[in-house]
Structure 1
Amino acid sequence: MRAEDGDDALETLFLPFIDGTLAWPSDGALFLRARDGWPLHQRAWPGLRCEQSFRPAADALERSGLSLAEEDETSRVPLVLVLPPRQRDESRALFARAIARCAPSGRVVACVPNNEGAKSAEADLARIAGPVGNLSKNKCRVFWTAPLEGPADADLAAQWAQADAPRPIADGRFVSRPGVFAWDRIDAASRLLADHLPHDLEGHAADLGAGYGYLSTELLARCPGIRAVDLYEAERRALDLARVNLAPFAERVALQFHWHDVTRGIDGRFDVIVCNPPFHAQGRGDRPDIGRRFIAVAAQALKPGGRLWLVANRHLPYEAELDAHFGNVRTVAQEGGFKIVDAMKSREGRTA
C-alpha cells in the first residue's frame, strides 16, 4: 500500500534513515508488525526481516520478496522497527519484546499516526526505554530510543511483556488475549448466530474467520451430527487461541486449523459453513467487499445442498451476493442491528 493510499505511518517510520538522522545498521534489522509498501522498496535495507501475524499482510510481504521472521525467534538485532497496534496492552507488550530483541547498543524505532495515540505510545516507550527522540510528518510521529543496554525499567518491561498474554474470559469458558477481535467478551453478533443454529446440522463444517473459536465451539456443543470442523483464520494469534479452546472436542471430531486469508479461496467440500465475516481490513472504514468475497468463497466450498449460516450488520449489502450464489436464501432473524441468514446451495451446485 502506498503512503498516499493511507499508510503514512510506514513512510514516516523510515524517514529518519532517509534524511540521515539515524544510520541503518550493517548487521540487519527486525520489523515487528511489518506491512508492505513503497517505503520498503525505495532503497536497499540490508538484512531486514519482517514479522507479521496477519496472513494477508504476511502474504503481501512475501510476494514483495521480503524475508519473514517467526514470532518465537529470540535472536538479537541492532535495530527493531515497530508499527504498534491500537490496542494499548498489545502495544506495550510489543515494545517490551522489541527491547528484548535489541542487541547491545541497539535501538527501537516506532511510528504511530497522531490520531491513533502517537503521544501516548511515545510516552509508553520512554517509560521502559528511557529518553526518546522524535520527529513529526504526514500527521504521524516517529520516535526512537537511544542506544540500549536493556530496558531502563526492567520491572515494568517484564510486566508489560505479559500485558497481552492469553487469559480466561467469559467466566473461564474461553481463553483470549488483547488485540484479537472481541478479545475480552463474546461478540454479540456471533452469539446471536449461535443462538439460531439448528441442532440438526451435520457432516463436515467450516468456520470462516474463526477468531478465537467461539462459533466452532458453539456449533459442536449444539450440533452432535457435526463430525469435523476446519477453522480458517487470518490472524495467527487468534488461531493459536482457537486451538486451545477447541481442544476439549479433539477426541470427538476431526479438527483442522488453517492460518489463511479466506478471500484467496479455500480447499475442501463442506456440508455446513458458519461465518461472521470481517467488514474492516486494518483500517477503520467499512469494507463490505470482504464479506461479499467470504460469501462467494463459501458458495464454492459447499457441497450441493450445503448450508451457509451467516451473521452480519443489517446495513451491509450482502443480499445480491447471496442471491447470486445460492439457490435458497432466507433471513432467519433481524435483531440488535444484526441479521442472521441461512443460505442453501442448490442441489445442482450452481454458483455464479
Structure 2
Amino acid sequence: MSTKAPPPLVYGAPPAELANIPAGALQVSPLVPGSARLEDFERASLDEVVMLAPAGTIERRYALALALRALRGNGHLVALAPKDRGGSRLGRELLAFGCTPAETGRRHHRVCSVQRPDILSGLDEAIREGGPRHIDNLALCTQPGIFSWDRIDPGTALLLANLPPLSGRGADFGCGLGILARAVLASDAVSALALVDLDRRAIEMARRNVGDPRATFLWADLRERPADLSRLDFVVMNPPFHDGGSEDQALGQSFIARAAEALRPGGTLWLTANTHLPYEAPLNAAFKTVALKAASGGYKIYEARK
C-alpha cells in the first residue's frame, strides 16, 4: 500500500537565485498569513526544507531546530540568510546541532546545505528557548521573534500614557502581544476590538493575553485590505517601519491608509511613531483633522479624525 509523499517545506521567501524552491512547497513562515505551522510537523516526517533563516539568534536556532527535528534521516535542509542578519553564524549553528553543512557565499548571503545526520544534539534546548513562555517583567505570554517580545517598547508606552478611554467598535493594527488592546478594553464603553497582526505568533500570544469576549483576532497583512473591518469608531496602532531588516516607510503609510478605510466618518485614529518618520503628509491626506498629542523620547503621538 503506497503512502503519499510529504510535501517539501519553504520558510519565508528565499531568493530564487540562491535556493531552488521545490514545486508544491508548503509555506511555514509565521509571517505569511495562512501558512502552516512548522511546529506541527511530526519528527522524521519530511524529506526537504528550504529556509530563509530569521535574523534573531534565538528565533533562528528555534526554526532550524524545528526543521531538523521534522526531517527524516538524510532529509535535506537548505538554510540561508544575509551575512549581516545571521548568515555569518548559520554554519556554526548547524555544526553545533551535529550537522556537517556545505557552506557557500553568494550575493551577500551565506547558504548552508545539509543532510540530516542520524544523531543530532541540542534541538530540544533550542526549541524550548525559542518557544512560547511567560515573562515576568511583562506578566504576559510571549515568544522570541515577536516585535518587542521581552519589553514594552517606548512608543507603545507613550501611547498608553496619552490614550483616553475609547468607546464603540475598534481595532488594534499590529497588535503584537496585546498590550495596547488590554488598555483599550479597560474601557467598558468599548463594544468590540479586532486585534490584527502579520505575525501568527503575535496572534497566538495575544489570544492568551487578552481574555476578553469583546476581542477577536485576525492574522492578516495590513498592506492589503481586510474585508471584515469597516465602519469602526476607532483604531489604535504602533505601525512597523522595517521590512526584512531595512527601513520601509511605506509600511506605516499602508497602516494609515487601512485605518482611514476602516473608520466611519468621525472615527478616530491614535498612532504612535518614531519622531523621524514623515507620517504627517499621509495623515493629513486621509483625515479631516490631525493633532499632535505628545512627543517625547524620540516618539510622537497623533490623534487623527476622519
The amino acid of 2:99's aligned partner reads G
Are the structure 2 counterparts of residues 31 and 44 from structure 1 closer, same or farther at C-alpha, using a change threshold of 3 Å?
A: closer
Map of 1:87-166 to 2, 5 A cutoff?
Answer: 87-151=56-120, 153=121, 156-166=122-132
Q: 1:330 Cα deviation (Å)?
A: 0.6
Are the structure 2 counterparts of residues 43 and 137 from structure 1 closer, same or farther at C-alpha, using a change threshold of 3 Å?
A: closer
- Structure 1, unmatched stretches of 5+, are 1-26, 60-67, 346-352
Q: Is the 8 A contact 1:30 1:51 kept in 2?
A: no
- Where does residue 194 of structure 1 map in the other structure? 160
Distance 1:190 1:177 in 2: 18
Are the structure 2 counterparts of residues 299 and 341 from structure 1 closer, same or farther at C-alpha, using a change threshold of 3 Å?
A: same
The amino acid of 2:216's aligned partner reads Q
Are the structure 2 counterparts of residues 122 and 37 from structure 1 closer, same or farther at C-alpha, using a change threshold of 3 Å?
A: closer
Match of 2:22 among 13, 33, 45: 45
Question: Could you tell which deviates more after superposition, 105-114 or 44-53?
Answer: 44-53
Distance 1:215 1:333 in 2: 17
Q: 1:29 Cα deviation (Å)?
A: 5.6
> CA RMSD, aligned part only?
2.3
Task: State whether structure 2 residue 178 is matched by structure 1 residue 213.
Answer: yes
Alignment size in residue pairs: 299
- Where does residue 9 of structure 2 map in the other structure? 31
Q: Is the 8 A contact 2:53 2:60 kept in 1?
A: yes
- Where does residue 203 of structure 2 map in the other structure? 239
Q: Secondary structure at the match of 1:129?
A: coil
Q: Secondary structure at the match of 1:195?
A: helix
Q: 1:197 Cα deviation (Å)?
A: 0.8
Task: State whether structure 2 residue 41 is matched by structure 1 residue 73.
Answer: yes
- Where does residue 264 of structure 1 map in the other structure? 224
Q: 1:36 Cα deviation (Å)?
A: 6.5
Match of 1:280 among 242, 264, 275: 242
Q: Is the 8 A contact 1:80 1:101 kept in 2?
A: no
Q: 1:47 Cα deviation (Å)?
A: 5.0
Q: Is the 8 A contact 2:99 2:116 kept in 1?
A: no
Distance 2:140 2:29 in 1: 24
Distance 1:236 1:147 in 2: 28
Are the structure 2 counterparts of residues 43 and 330 from structure 1 closer, same or farther at C-alpha, using a change threshold of 3 Å?
A: closer
Q: Secondary structure at the match of 1:162?
A: helix
Q: Is the 8 A contact 2:130 2:143 kept in 1?
A: yes
Q: Is the 8 A contact 2:90 2:110 kept in 1?
A: no
Distance 2:113 2:93 in 1: 12
The amino acid of 1:30's aligned partner reads P
The amino acid of 1:73's aligned partner reads F
Distance 1:170 1:304 in 2: 41
Q: 1:274 Cα deviation (Å)?
A: 0.3
Distance 2:150 2:62 in 1: 17
Q: 1:147 Cα deviation (Å)?
A: 4.3
The amino acid of 1:258's aligned partner reads L
- Structure 2, unmatched stretches of 5+, are none
Residues 57-111 of structure 1: CA deviation (Å, up to 9, x unaligned): x58xxxxxxxx54432327122222221111111111111111111122132211
Residues 112-142 of structure 1: CA deviation (Å, up to 9, x unaligned): 2222232322111111123222122222221
Task: State whether structure 2 residue 261 is matched by structure 1 residue 300.
Answer: yes
Are the structure 2 counterparts of residues 328 and 146 from structure 1 closer, same or farther at C-alpha, using a change threshold of 3 Å?
A: closer
Map of 1:216-227 to 2, 5 A cutoff?
Answer: 216-221=181-186, 223-227=187-191
Q: With structure 2 as the length reference, what TM-score do the two structures score?
A: 0.90
Q: Is the 8 A contact 2:101 2:114 kept in 1?
A: yes
Q: Is the 8 A contact 1:194 1:219 kept in 2?
A: no
- Where does residue 338 of structure 1 map in the other structure? 299
Q: Is the 8 A contact 1:28 1:47 kept in 2?
A: no
Are the structure 2 counterparts of residues 140 and 92 from structure 1 closer, same or farther at C-alpha, using a change threshold of 3 Å?
A: same
Are the structure 2 counterparts of residues 281 and 172 from structure 1 closer, same or farther at C-alpha, using a change threshold of 3 Å?
A: closer
Q: Is the 8 A contact 1:332 1:340 kept in 2?
A: yes
